[in-house]
A and B are shown apart, each in its own frame.
Chain A
């Protein structure tokens, strides 16, 4: 896109402080004061409420903080962290969640979006219905699903007993083998609708010529899916995967309310562990939880960078 201005406009453009280049002025440049007006509020908020606290946390991790005293302890918090069994269990749980669950989320979202796209009746109602869980607060979702998983009268066990599969009933949130999976299912229930909406929007924006051409070639749905739709949606799907991944690395609310990290640390995530160390243990020390937070921050950054490389982020366009 070239910009053409008559020579009469050039002085006006120059007056606005833009640099001149051979008689043309670039409306994509503007003066520093104007830039500041646009950027300063955001940068101030960021600096004061995001960057500064982050640096302070990293700084704090080198101290032990009891009440109002600070005792520098160098790297001993980090050394303790390496030995901390609970921390490693939490890391393992969070990784399982973050790598596995997004696959479920994205796949479900895609399938739902395809179902809607294929033109089912009541599409508008279904779209709203399927999106509803996204609107609910984690507190509500946790309460609902704790009732659903209830051993004596929850939906899952009642249904199993109704069809005679009594042997399959379990205390879903109380059994270390099933607790993590149960919480993951609940989390996926909440977010499926979001992924669906994004996929749906992306599908709608696919150029219809390609799909029509495939129609003419008599491609079956399976082939259409594999060879056309998924490859064309790849940027969107990968974007969703990364977003979901990031979300799961941070998850706290749901786990905290449903299981508090139990049973036997089966659902302990890094977030719940940090919270416990900062607010629940019999100590006021904030240095150790700061160390955990710092390490985790590094891990998340590294993981996202790796994922981006793996997905060749150059291909990922915004949706």
Chain B
């Protein structure tokens, strides 16, 4: 797996650099603009939207975090998302393993059913889920939201992991069986460690999608204290509709941890996606 090092002959080096530079500005520019606005107050911003911050008003972050309940939103999101991701990855991995490894009647049917729900538009389940949660007294509860999140990510998890698990060489299983291991132990000792890249990828993808999930959270949670972060940001925006500096600070708070986590784990993610790309 070597990267080819020659420059393309279709475009000159300069043109390529220009395109790459432009695209990077296009991608990162808005974010940098947001960052500069988060340390200026609204008066300064209204006067000139693009000026460099002077002074750097770091206290806006404190105000956003403390006075506006961001800590609560962060905690709620963390609780719900971490739990949901852990559970769905485990449950999905178990199901994916069974579907990938064992032959039994209905294997492909079950796989097809689980996978096909990826195409369900959320509206088909949204209204009924709302009624169901009410019936079971789980409406407006973080537990209810967690359960819904688990169900949302299950198809994708099964899809990604089944593909990867199916490629683990059968020899390993044969050897393990010969050594007398039971099926569940095989799962624990072979599939999970070997499947780590794919599991990590799935974990990260699930995390990203659920951390930013908005529609179900806005419908199923009404208590301001149970809001997750995306809802909290929007509410925050409503509270400070003219206070652009404040909104920018709040948005930065919600975004930076995710980006840092990603920068940190990106290598694992790429390796996982690359490993899973074996044809």
Please encode chain B, from 90 to 102, with 1 for each CB lying within 8 Å of some chain A CB and 0 for all others: 0110110111011
Residues A205 and B127 in contact, CB atoms below 8 Å apart:
no
Q: Does A230 contact B (CB under 8 A)?
A: no
Asked whether A145 and B173 contact (CB < 8 A) given A137-B254, A140-B255, the answer is no
Please encode chain B, from 147 to 181, with 1 for each CB lying within 8 Å of some chain A CB and 0 for all others: 11011001100100001000001110110011010
Residue of B whose beta carbon sits closest to that of A28: B103
Segment with Cβ contacts to B, from A79-87, A171-179, A260-268, A284-292: A284-292
Residues B263 and A144 in contact, CB atoms below 8 Å apart:
no
* Complex contacts, B56 vs chain A, CB 8 Å: none
Please encode chain A, from 127 to 165, with 1 for each CB lying within 8 Å of some chain B CB and 0 for all others: 111111111111110011101100001010010000000
- The dominant DSSP class at the A interface is helix
Residues B119 and A253 in contact, CB atoms below 8 Å apart:
no
Q: Which of B190-240 contact A (CB under 8 A)?
A: 208, 211-212, 214-215, 219, 229-230, 233-234, 237
- Shortest Cβ distance from residue A194 to the other chain B in the assembled complex, whole angstroms: 9
Q: Does B131 contact A (CB under 8 A)?
A: yes
CA of A171 to CA of B103, assembled, Å: 59
* Complex contacts, A278 vs chain B, CB 8 Å: 126-127
- Shortest Cβ distance from residue A41 to the other chain B in the assembled complex, whole angstroms: 4
CA of A200 to CA of B113, assembled, Å: 30
Q: Which of A219-262 contact B (CB under 8 A)?
A: 220-222, 225, 236, 246, 249-250, 252-253, 257
CA of A130 to CA of B234, assembled, Å: 25
Q: Does B52 contact A (CB under 8 A)?
A: no
- Shortest Cβ distance from residue A262 to the other chain B in the assembled complex, whole angstroms: 18
Q: How many residues of A contact B (CB 8 A)?
A: 106
Q: Does B29 contact A (CB under 8 A)?
A: yes
- Shortest Cβ distance from residue B25 to the other chain A in the assembled complex, whole angstroms: 10
Residues A189 and B151 in contact, CB atoms below 8 Å apart:
no
Q: Does A193 contact B (CB under 8 A)?
A: yes
Q: Does B242 contact A (CB under 8 A)?
A: no
Asked whether A49 and B121 contact (CB < 8 A) given A38-B95, A135-B208, A201-B273, the answer is no
Residues A293 and B123 in contact, CB atoms below 8 Å apart:
yes
Residues A220 and B10 in contact, CB atoms below 8 Å apart:
yes
> Could you list 26 examples of A-B contacts with CB < 8 Å?
A27-B173, A42-B95, A45-B147, A45-B151, A56-B132, A57-B128, A58-B124, A117-B4, A118-B6, A118-B7, A128-B266, A136-B258, A143-B251, A144-B251, A145-B30, A147-B244, A155-B33, A158-B50, A201-B274, A205-B277, A222-B10, A270-B121, A286-B131, A297-B121, A304-B119, A319-B277
**Additional A-B contacts beyond A119-B5, A252-B214 (17; CB < 8 A):** A30-B102, A30-B183, A34-B183, A38-B187, A41-B94, A42-B114, A43-B95, A49-B125, A53-B124, A115-B16, A119-B6, A136-B255, A198-B273, A271-B121, A286-B127, A297-B120, A301-B116
Enumerate the 6 nearest inter-chain pairs by beta-carbon distance, A residue then B residue, closest first: A137-B212, A49-B151, A53-B128, A42-B95, A38-B98, A318-B163
